[in-house]
Structure 1
Amino acid sequence: MDPFNKRIRVDKLIGSLLESIKYAEEIARENQAEKLIVKGKLQDLPIFQEQGFSLEAKIDQFFRGTDMYFFCKYYSSERRNSEHWLEEDDVLQSVQDKEVSEKTAIMLPKPYRLKELSAEDVQAMALLYQTVFEIYPVPLHDPVYIRKTMEEGAVYYGVYFEKDLVSAAAAEIDWEHGNAELTDCATLPQHRKHQLMKILLVQLEEVLKKHNIYCAYSIARSLSFGMNASLHSLGYKYRGRLTKNCFIFNKLEDMNVWVKDLSAH
């Protein structure tokens, strides 16, 4: 249940697929959701199509080696239609025209320092997220929420410039299905020239590999050249776009899905 983003998301289906879909639709309508997202498998595509869903993106090997597909249905025309789709296509094209340079080691210039973030950093993290994002799909401006995600197993890394936290990112691990989302990526604008986010993502990938998690994915704002370029350059593959998926930055935004098989790197 995600009232902030006016959507319902179904992460796991049990029993009859058709009955599950109809039950999810009932909940969506009762809660006046504008979008219903169901994580399904390719063999279920015909049933989802019959029920009016569209296939928007996929994540390779999400379900312990089996691919996952985002099936989506909309309950308002405004939510269904994106005003920025062609502009986002241009961003994606310019990103994919760049070379993949994942093998290149990036040195962290002094006085920057890399740190695994813990409870002692939550105030600094909240301040960073407040500064970078006017709005965000989850309450990362709240130190209590950040501490709760840490307790639930999210791994955060950040970069400090002297005493200030200037960049941060997280890996949210799904132990049941063996995947992880790289998320909550933020860098202060004046520090973006040093490729700090790429350094953080590489560090998080190493953590995941130590835990035998090889399906890594990230969902980035489709209008953000920098974030999409970072993922592409690290060898992530574009796997689709989620229309008006969540409130982020300053409005409802389309989100690009990027996937990487860490076992191949």
Structure 2
Amino acid sequence: MRASRCELNNTFYAKIDRTKILVDLPNKRIKIIDFNTISTQNLKRIIHFASKQHLSKILCNCDTKSFETFINAGFNSEGKISGYFKGNDAFCMSYFINSDRKVCSNFARKELLIKECQNVRNTYAHQKNNLGYLIRNANKNDIKEMIDLFSTVFLTYQSPIYDEEYLKQTMNDKVLYKVAVYNGKIISIASADMNKENLNAEITDCATHPSYRGIGILSNIIYSLESDLKAKGFLCLYSLSRSINPSINFVLSKHNYNFAGRLVNNCNICGTFEDMNLWVKNINSTSF
């Protein structure tokens, strides 16, 4: 195994046989990056490596051709992202090393929330900006204020959004950050993590200051992100939302995202491992 460590967020890339993986220590998981030539034997070696590292979950967004290989190695599909690979589907495959991590708590309550979200599906209308805030692309001068807002909203988070260098490195080229500014102060943020090779983007890093919630600011930022991504030629948008947080799930459903699965105990957010609901939207022929 060869490894190269990234000190920014205590993660590192490694290769097991010829398969590239991301070892994500804060979230106690491995993400398989390259699955094109993967075999069942190769997956067994990755499982063994993860166990030795005291990690408890392995993830991969694989294509249709590789699906059976993952199933044969003991993986399960937790969701499907329609159009992830330039219009072709991806399956969210997971392997749980620790049996405790595969337990979805409060299942009935989370299912009820999804049913309630379906009642408001595709009802978003561009909301009037009565407050007078400005939505714009973030720039490097915003980073310290962005970190302050992230720190206010999230006790812990799955990616290093509190790290100034990480935000500098990802801003604009890989991640499109948008902010809502009111009276010179950033009051809400959302971003699109862009996979330019496969023409998909993850809507993520959604945070609104507690004093400004409930008036549609985040919905309008997402609308702005979607407009830019559609203009850039992206085909597929998806988002992983906290399954216990009604507001973001309602927002995504209103924007016509489809509920497409639940990733159990997927990441360390707000101080504990949480289930993440998967929402998917194809924008190549969608008007919004």
Taking structure 2 as the reference length, the TM-score comes to 0.87
Q: Is the 8 A contact 1:5 1:137 kept in 2?
A: yes
Matches within 5 A, 1:231-250: 231-250=252-271
Q: Is the 8 A contact 1:125 1:143 kept in 2?
A: no
Provide the C-alpha distance between the structure 1 equivalents of 2:25 and 2:152, rounded to a whole number of angstroms. Answer: 24
Q: Deviations over 1:124-151 (max 9, x none)?
A: 1000000000111112122222112116
Q: Is the 8 A contact 2:121 2:256 kept in 1?
A: no
Provide the C-alpha distance between the structure 2 equivalents of 1:21 and 1:152, rounded to a whole number of angstroms. Answer: 32
Q: Is the 8 A contact 1:178 1:213 kept in 2?
A: yes
Alignment RMSD, CA only? Answer: 1.5
Higher relative contact order (CA 8 A, sep 6+): 1
Taking structure 1 as the reference length, the TM-score comes to 0.94
Q: Deviations over 1:54-107 (max 9, x none)?
A: 1101111111111000111111121111222222112111111224213x2212
Unaligned runs of 5+ in 2: 1-22
Provide the C-alpha distance between the structure 2 equivalents of 1:242 and 1:236, rounded to a whole number of angstroms. Answer: 16
| Aligned counterpart, 1:13 | 35
| Aligned counterpart, 1:215 | 236
| Aligned counterpart, 2:195 | 174
The question of 1:82 aligning with 2:104 is answered: yes
Provide the C-alpha distance between the structure 1 equivalents of 2:96 and 2:266, rounded to a whole number of angstroms. Answer: 11
The question of 1:258 aligning with 2:279 is answered: yes
The question of 1:56 aligning with 2:78 is answered: yes
Q: Is the 8 A contact 2:176 2:191 kept in 1?
A: yes
Deviation (angstroms), 1:264: 2.1
Q: Work out which of the residue numbers 178, 192, 199 in structure 1 matches 2:220.
A: 199
Provide the C-alpha distance between the structure 2 equivalents of 1:255 and 1:206, rounded to a whole number of angstroms. Answer: 25
The question of 1:119 aligning with 2:140 is answered: yes
Matches within 5 A, 1:18-97: 18-97=40-119
Quick one: structure 1 residues 26 and 164, their matched pair in 2 at CA, closer, same or farther if it must change by over 3 Å? Answer: same
Unaligned runs of 5+ in 1: none
Count of residues in Structure 1 that have an aligned counterpart in Structure 2: 264
Q: Deviations over 1:95-123 (max 9, x none)?
A: 11224213x22122233111210101001
Which is worse superposed, 236-245 or 132-141? Answer: 132-141
| Aligned counterpart, 2:168 | 147
* Secondary structure of the corresponding residue to residue 214 of structure 2: helix
Which is worse superposed, 142-151 or 39-48? Answer: 39-48
* Greater fraction of residues in helix: 1
Q: Which amino acid aligns with 1:210?
A: A
Provide the C-alpha distance between the structure 2 equivalents of 1:213 and 1:136, rounded to a whole number of angstroms. Answer: 26
Which is worse superposed, 81-90 or 63-72? Answer: 81-90
Deviation (angstroms), 1:43: 4.2
Q: Deviations over 1:22-81 (max 9, x none)?
A: 232233123221001122123433332222111101111111111000111111121111
Q: Is the 8 A contact 1:124 1:165 kept in 2?
A: yes
Q: Which amino acid aligns with 2:78?
A: E
Deviation (angstroms), 1:209: 1.2
Identity of aligned residues (%): 28
